[in-house]
Structure 1
Amino acid sequence: MFDSIPGAVREGDVIAHFGNPLIEQRQLAAGEALVPLTDRTLIEVAGADRLTWLDSFTSQALKGLPAGASTELLVLDPQGRVEHAAAVFEDGTATWLIADSADADALATWLQRMVFRSRVTVTVKSDAVLVGFFAGGGAQARVAVAAPNGHALVWNDPWQSVQPGGHQYAAVDGHPGADYAWTIAVLDDADALTGPFAGALAAEALRVAAWRPRWSHEVDERTIPHEADWIRSAVHLDKGCYRGQETVAKVHNLGHPPRRLAALHLDGSEVTLPQPGSPVLAGDAEVGQVTSAALHYEDGPIALAMLSRRAPIGDLVVRADGVDIAAAQQVIVPADAGATAEVPRLTRLSRRPLGEDPRNSR
């Protein structure tokens, strides 16, 4: 249905823009534009055991999640690497997951295999129509939202603040995610939608500017939550055991994740915008890869990059289509990210904090 909107330009699975991505960004940031989310899929998890069941093997504390609450979860492998990610909305009768479409079928299949004797059903709602917008403007008033169990299916992204049980590694005053009031709604009547509309290019630019990780971009076969500062919103450090929890606790308590997410401000004199996978260089050495890149309506060309923990702090270079683009680095995840600074380091023999004079203990 979205393809029939005048000006819609599709690129692959998404509508990239409606004629002017920069104007669309301004309207989206102001809460006025709606984004067709053709690359997201809705999954319904129903049944009396759904919350305790999800809580038992995902990164998020979900027991007792109240009706109307929004959060997010990660499914980790036994080594703590991210396999799946999903937005979570509870309506009191069912738990609704929103996943990137490229991951949705695999996530649903994995969930179905985990049911065993639990009173749970997992259903992919492939016909559901989803739109995104920013709260605080007029966009939400133009959306007829589905409410199959009495609660409107509207997910509010928790990225705006550190969630209960979470931890932020970014050592900044005024995190850019604080203003990221991203919202996803499941439509009841898609035919009644009216503009203005914004495309995926606008939505992605605002996501990158907020340092917000996404499964389809920041996750590869090695990613652990710490590297993307994802413990901030998707991991509860104080909940009970779940798959991958040992790695989460170990890396958080000892620090030093293998890689770290960084924000890059790119030289705007180049017309080339790097694609995901473009190498990031320090001198002649490759120290990481771009995961997301966008043209922001105020900041110009920006990117997120996953770098080696040993990548130097300072200016880097991104190589895109044979062109070297200067990149000013802003650290998101420090190389020593973790709770190290809060835990006294002990010697193996004495178990005293390092540097303590043993005479003081007499």
Structure 2
Amino acid sequence: RHEQLLVTGADAVTFIENFTTAKVSDLLPGAGCEGFFCDARGWVIDLVLIRRTNDGLVLRMGPGRAASLRSHLDRYHIREDLELLDQSEGLRSLLISGAAASRWLENHFDQSLPATPANFAEGLLTAAVGATPVPVRLTLIDWYGQGGFLVETTAGEQLVAALTAAGLPQVETGTVLAWRLHRGWPLAEDIPEKTLPQELGLDGRAICFSKGCYLGQETVARLDALGHVNRQLMLLAVAGEEPVALGAAVVSGDTQVAVVTSAAAATDDAGWLALAILPLKVASEQSLTVAGRSAEVLRFTTAEDSSE
């Protein structure tokens, strides 16, 4: 599940441009991008999927996040011609992924599939012959690896039933979580207070360093000028079969350096995976432990890895 804000009106795009690290003014209808929303100090409020429609912008965020982001934006909304509408009620998200996902959707979705990550199409999805078409928004994403499509609809139960009846296999939630950890895609729980955008490792896709002023830009630009941050979101391989608890301490030597924000069993049955924001100086150390169990830093998979 997720939440959604619709920003409409003549000033919708220029207004949001002033509050996100992304260059949303370049988006055409049907295109999208990811962007950080920051406070005046440059600390991340949320990482948001931003999509341009004919009416304005659709902002997608995690559960329980729409109200706080809307409140943040409303504080600065004075005379601009725009509305901020919470469209979260009844919204459901599904992931259709895998090597055959595109081919299946080409036969069951009545619009051309988006070919660029974060781009989307709105149309009808018919899961099987004789099934009732379901209106959906279909977005190409790579948060869980290549070949993934985010399907959003207000007819979630109907669509799930139709996809199940059509024989599409369902993947365990833990497996999908492991895919996300391998990709290093952060959700709200991976972004603690006082986190800076560059600490999440998405500079090339969620931050435009050449755009005009926006809230928090001074901090982002200063970090860019320095050339590095002191800590960053990293993937840990943790030994042992016991689950890794959220909030578990990551220790280097005798010093706690971070806490686990997300965790999942490794898909190869070799221990557990965990995300944590670690100081760069400890990333290569051999003495890392998580809740007393040995751990090592792994590199995130890339689009090239996923396409092999």
**TM-aligned CA deviation for residue 106 of structure 1:** 0.7
Structure 1: which amino acid aligns with 2:178? A
With 241-250 and 257-266 compared, the bigger mean Cα shift is at 257-266
Shift of 1:143: 7.0
Q: 1:272 aligns with which of 229, 237, 242?
A: 242
5 Å matches for 1:316-327?
316-320=287-291, 324-327=292-295
Distance 1:67 1:53, change over 3 A: same
2:252 to 282, 286, 289: 282
- What is the TM-score normalised by the length of structure 2? 0.78
The Cα of 1:123 is off from its aligned counterpart by 1.0
AA aligned to 2:76 is M
Question: How many angstroms apart in 2 are the aligned matches of 1:135 and 1:88?
Answer: 24
Deviations 1:201-247 (A, max 9, x none): 22211000111122x22211121011110223211111011111111
- Aligned to 2:223, the other structure's residue is in SS state helix
The Cα of 1:83 is off from its aligned counterpart by: 0.9
Distance 1:71 1:312 in 2: 29
Equivalence for 2:280: 309
Counterpart selection for 1:212 from 170, 185, 208: 185
Mapping of residues 1-362 of structure 1, within 5 Å: 38=1, 40-125=2-87, 126-134=89-97, 136-138=99-101, 140=105, 147=123, 153-157=137-141, 179-187=145-153, 189-190=155-156, 191-193=158-160, 194-195=163-164, 196-214=169-187, 216-267=188-239, 270-298=240-268, 300=270, 301-311=272-282, 313-320=284-291, 324-330=292-298
In the alignment, the residues of structure 1 paired with residue 82 and residue 98 of structure 2 have an alpha-carbon distance, to the nearest angstrom, of 32
Unaligned 5+ segments in structure 1 are: 1-37, 160-176, 333-362
Name the TM-score, length of structure 1 as normaliser: 0.67
The SS at the match of 1:63 is helix
Answer whether contact 1:289 1:305 (CA < 8 A) is retained: yes
CA distance in 1, matches of 2:154, 2:265: 33
Structure 2 residues not aligned, in runs of 5+: 111-120, 125-134, 301-308
How far residue 276 of structure 1 moved from its aligned partner, in angstroms, is 2.4
Q: Secondary structure at the match of 1:57?
A: coil
Aligned-residue RMSD, C-alpha: 2.6
- How many percent identity over aligned positions? 24
For residue 27 of structure 2, what is the amino acid of its counterpart? Answer: L
Q: Figure out how many residues of one structure are paired with residues of the other and give that number.
A: 268
Q: Secondary structure at the match of 2:186?
A: coil
Q: Which moved more, 1:139-148 or 1:223-232?
A: 139-148
Secondary structure class of the residue paired with 2:25: coil
In structure 2, distance between residues paired with 1:278 and 1:102:
23
Which one-letter code corresponds to 2:258 in the other structure?
G
Cα separation, 2, equivalents of 1:213 and 1:142 = 31
